[in-house]
Chain A
Amino acid sequence: MSFPEIIVLVTAILLTITTAATPLLLAAIGELVVERSGVLNLGVEGMIVIGAVVAFVMAQITGNAYLGALFGMAAGCIFSLLFGFLTLTLVANQVATGLALTILGLGISSMIGENYVGQAGAKLEPIAIPLLSSIPLIGPLLFDQNILFYLSIFAVFGVSWFLFKTRLGLQLRAIGDSHGSAHALGISVIKTRYLAVMFGGACAGLAGAQLSLVYTPQWIENMSAGRGWIALALVVFASWRPLRVLAGAYLFGAVTIGQLHAQALGFGIPSQLLSALPYLATIVVLVIISRNKRLTLMNTPASLGQSFVPDR
């Protein structure tokens, strides 16, 4: 194999990895913000699949994939409000509500998409950034991609900046660490959490749009195929740090794709073990970060999963 050929192969593999990692990254970065505010939304899978179906259907109706993605994002956001209303306003249990959200999302999405199964649809084409996109290797990988890829990277750095450099971000983290104290300090706990949940829903909606407009441009029932659960694992794996979510999503993508390449090369590896690796790794990371009290306090939202009602 000549050098240019290797470059071509490596570029192709890396491109596949970015496509596999982007929906995980989008959904996980959204859930990260939700969890940082102290809310655990286990309904990611349901929101992704709603985003996917709405994005595809609207892209078909309007003939414009960008509008489709926009609608997908909005749909995820609106759907997450249902979770928000139950858990924040009515203080229902977050775990149960999140699971119910997934059941409802899978049902509603197959209802909406019934007449669109198997149709070939509009897709989001790559947008080449002039000059930069012609750099070998990096060019096609980073500067000749679809809008959702750019957005996912932007979201990571945006969220990182927001959480650690802005006042609002500080408030959000304070709420996640101790909603009681934050409330006493005059921060509006419920309002902030609503915004976080909606952001999470919008991101999950975009992740869904990526599935139905980029990854495999079509609508298939249950097409999220467990990616929402992986996104949840990634947030923990990243110990609630945005840049680590980026690393985690790409690592996960690389393992998945690398596994397929290893098979194509003829290595026989028990696939169940490989498939279990990300979850085992997440547990290990979870143990490592949580055994160190100081690290835990720094990163883990202490009031994760607890309801909050202002006393009066």
Chain B
Amino acid sequence: MRIELERRPSHSALFSILSPFIALGLTIIAGIILFTIMDKNPIDALYSFFIEPLTEVWSLHELAIKASPLILIAVGLSVCFRSNNWNIGAEGQFIMGGVAGSAIPILFHEWNSFLVLPMMLIMGMIGGALYASIPALLKTRFNTNEILSSLMLVYVAQLALDWIVRGPWRNPEGYNFPESRSFELQAVLPELLPASGRANFGIVFAILATIVAWFMMRHMLKGFEVSVLGQSARAGRFAGFSANKMVFFAFIFSGALAGLAGISEVSGSIGRLQPVISPGYGFTAIIVAFLGRLNPLGIFAAGIILALTYLGGEAAQISIGLPDKIARVFQGFLLFFVLACDTLIHYRVRFKFTDRTSSSVEGA
């Protein structure tokens, strides 16, 4: 049996809507099999994964906290990817944003002003954007593959953060433990509704970024430029767009959002700089970007769903004793099914049972 794809003349509206549900259905079937093998009640497990985290208000706050960095980064990446620039170093830009923004509350910790927080956020965005512009510069000046250079820079950023919190920015009152001093109140991103949970302004930034990116891609010339250059650099040139400028725009845009996510996380959720500030958000966000099909609104939904599986995995650990490993495998299944099902939007899938005819001849 062979599987062949046939490109649809235009993308299928039907499958655009159906494919996430097909993926979810397949994931649930796979989940039932997996949980049954592990001797856990599949209904309980699925309930813990997808429903339980949504049943309490504090848990919704937590969902917002977990989803906002993923959404912020992924929205930036979607614009970058749409322009056919492959920034996979958002993890590094996230870290550098966190470091740059933290400079103010760490180095000038006695400075108490309403300006502290806005400046931190701006510094964070600048930090992320500058770090992202390195691969952009290398790509435009030296034709260097940006996938690889941006990936390498992630490790450099991780080590730089490690060095700075163990060395120059170590908390002088912290018994020589590797962490910076904790931020004063004026440097902490405020909570939205402190009475019901600890979600902070990070989710507001995520919503704003989603709307801005959506509006730009949909209604602004810049968005048109992104799509045209992304589909064909040649066509873009005829339209008078500069591919090189686009490289910088794409990297700086995505880097700034990753940096904003970084400083929001450090300021809002952690409250100090420590050797590790991200459990891989920059990489997970790449998956989120694709789960959301590079569309800001889709990404918002994808970010929430992925965050839900993290919270659900914990809920399942506590309520039915489902090991953490199984939760991660289940999450892996979900990712694979969604990636696979999206093929249906642009292609017809045909199963061929006859003898194969040489595809090369057909193609020629």
Which of A89, A107, A183, A287 is in CB contact (< 8 Å) with B329? Answer: A107
Question: 1/0 contact trace for B310-332 toward A, CB 8 Å?
Answer: 00000000000001011111011
Tally chain B residues at the interface, Cβ within 8 Å: 54
How far, in angstroms, from A107 to B360 measured CA to CA in the complex? 39
A288 CB, min distance to chain B CBs, angstroms: 8
Q: Across the interface, which residues of B come within 8 angstroms of A232, CB to CB? A: 148, 151
How far, in angstroms, from A304 to B88 measured CA to CA in the complex? 15
Contact stretch, chosen from A7-15, A138-146, A268-276: A268-276
| B329 x A111 contact (CB < 8 A) | yes
A283: Cβ under 8 A from any B Cβ: yes
A106: Cβ under 8 A from any B Cβ: yes
Contact stretch, chosen from A59-67, A93-101, A119-127, A212-220: A93-101
| B332 x A104 contact (CB < 8 A) | yes
How far, in angstroms, from A179 to B230 measured CA to CA in the complex? 19
How far, in angstroms, from A187 to B361 measured CA to CA in the complex? 9
| B153 x A114 contact (CB < 8 A) | no
| A272 x B145 contact (CB < 8 A) | no
| A305 x B328 contact (CB < 8 A) | no
How far, in angstroms, from A40 to B162 measured CA to CA in the complex? 29
How far, in angstroms, from A111 to B138 measured CA to CA in the complex? 41
| B340 x A103 contact (CB < 8 A) | no
A108 CB, min distance to chain B CBs, angstroms: 6
How far, in angstroms, from A184 to B336 measured CA to CA in the complex? 31
| B145 x A304 contact (CB < 8 A) | yes
| B339 x A110 contact (CB < 8 A) | no
How far, in angstroms, from A312 to B326 measured CA to CA in the complex? 42
B334, closest chain A residue (CB): A100
| A283 x B149 contact (CB < 8 A) | yes
Known contacts A107-B332, A304-B145, A311-B7; decide if A114 and B325 are in contact (CB<8 Å): yes
Tally chain A residues at the interface, Cβ within 8 Å: 54
Contact stretch, chosen from A159-167, A196-204, A243-251, A290-298: A290-298
B201 CB, min distance to chain A CBs, angstroms: 29
B344 CB, min distance to chain A CBs, angstroms: 9
Which of A96, A110, A190, A290 is in CB contact (< 8 Å) with B287? Answer: A96
A280, closest chain B residue (CB): B156
| A93 x B339 contact (CB < 8 A) | yes
Which of A114, A283, A291 is in CB contact (< 8 Å) with B143? Answer: A291
A195: Cβ under 8 A from any B Cβ: no
Question: 1/0 contact trace for A162-179 toward B, CB 8 Å?
Answer: 000000000000000000
B204: Cβ under 8 A from any A Cβ: no
A279: Cβ under 8 A from any B Cβ: yes
How far, in angstroms, from A205 to B339 measured CA to CA in the complex? 24
A233: Cβ under 8 A from any B Cβ: yes
Most B-side CB within 10 Å, residue of A100, A110, A186: A100
Q: Across the interface, which residues of B come within 8 angstroms of A296, CB to CB? A: 143
How far, in angstroms, from A208 to B270 measured CA to CA in the complex? 36
A248 CB, min distance to chain B CBs, angstroms: 13
How far, in angstroms, from A276 to B159 measured CA to CA in the complex? 7
| A183 x B86 contact (CB < 8 A) | no
Known contacts A183-B363, A290-B142; decide if A279 and B147 are in contact (CB<8 Å): no
Closest 9 CB pairs of A and B: A104-B332, A107-B328, A107-B329, A96-B290, A291-B142, A100-B335, A272-B163, A90-B343, A92-B339
A-B contact pairs, 5 of them (CB 8 A): A107-B326, A183-B364, A229-B155, A273-B163, A275-B159
> Besides A96-B290, A99-B284, A305-B147, 9 other CB < 8 A contacts?
A91-B347, A107-B328, A272-B160, A272-B162, A279-B155, A286-B152, A287-B149, A290-B143, A310-B362
